[in-house]
Amino acid sequence: MLGSKLKDWDKMKDTAVESEQTKAPLGSSSRASSISFTISAILDMAASRGAIAVLLLLLLVLVAVQLEAADDDATTTHLHFFMHDIVSGSNPTAVQVIKGPASSSPTAPSLGMSFGDTTVIDDPLTETSSSTASPVVGRMQGLYMLSSQSGAVLMVTANILLTSGEYNGSTIAVIGRDDTAADVRELSVVGGTGKFRMASGYVLWKTTAMNVPDATVELDVYLAPNANNGTDIDGGGSSSGSKSSSSGGATMMTRSFGGKWVVGVAAGVLGSWWVCCC
Ligand SMILES: *[C@@H]1O[C@H](CO)[C@@H](O)[C@H](O)[C@H]1NC(C)=O
Ligand SMILES: *[C@@H]1O[C@H](CO)[C@@H](O)[C@H](O)[C@H]1NC(C)=O
DSSP secondary structure, 131-160, as one string: TTTS-EEEEEEEEEEE--SSSSEEEEEEEE
Q: Identify the pLDDT of residue 212.
A: 86
The model's confidence at residue 251, banded by pLDDT at 50, 70 and 90, is very low
The model's confidence at residue 159, banded by pLDDT at 50, 70 and 90, is very high
Task: Select from 127, 139, 163 the residue to mutate for testing ligand 1; criterion: most ligand atoms less than 8 Å from CB.
Answer: 163
d(CA 141, CA 124): 9
Residues 127/162, Cβ–Cβ less than 8 Å: no
The DSSP letter of residue 106 is -
**Residue in 161, 160, 165 with CA at minimum distance from that of residue 250:** 165
Distances (CA, A) of 21 to 9, 15, 16, 26, 35: 18, 10, 9, 11, 19
> Length of the chain in residues, anyone?
278
d(CA 177, CA 1): 56
Average pLDDT over residues 196-213: 94
Average pLDDT value for the chain: 76
Average pLDDT over residues 100-106: 80
DSSP element (H, E) containing 210: strand 201-211
Handedness of CA 262, 263, 269, 272 (dihedral sign): negative
Residue ranges of domains in the chain? 2-72, 77-256
Distance (angstroms) between ligand 1 centre and the Cα of 110 equals: 38
Residue nearest to atom 10 of ligand 2 (CA): 226
pLDDT at 141 over 70: yes
pLDDT at 3 over 80: no
Strand partners, 162: 138
164 lines ligand 1 (CB under 6 A): yes
d(CA 108, CA 112): 6
Query: Which is higher by pLDDT, 8 or 57?
Result: 57
Distance (angstroms) between ligand 1 centre and the Cα of 125 equals: 15
d(CA 160, CA 123): 9
Residue nearest to atom 11 of ligand 1 (CA): 164
Distance (angstroms) between ligand 1 centre and the Cα of 84 equals: 21
Task: Select from 77, 171, 172, 228 the residue to mutate for testing ligand 2; criterion: most ligand atoms less than 8 Å from CB.
Answer: 77
Kindly give the number of the ligand 1 atom that is closest to the alpha carbon of 164: 13
Distance (angstroms) between ligand 2 centre and the Cα of 229 equals: 6
CATH number of 77-256: 2.40.480.10
Q: Identify the pLDDT of residue 59.
A: 74
Kindly give the number of the ligand 1 atom that is closest to the alpha carbon of 163: 1
Q: Which residues contact 218 (CB under 8 A, 6 or more apart)?
A: 80, 81, 82, 83, 129, 205, 206, 207, 208
| Dihedral pair phi/psi, residue 261, rounded to 5° | -55, -55
Q: What is the pLDDT of residues 18-38, one digit of tens each?
A: 434 444 444 444 454 554 555
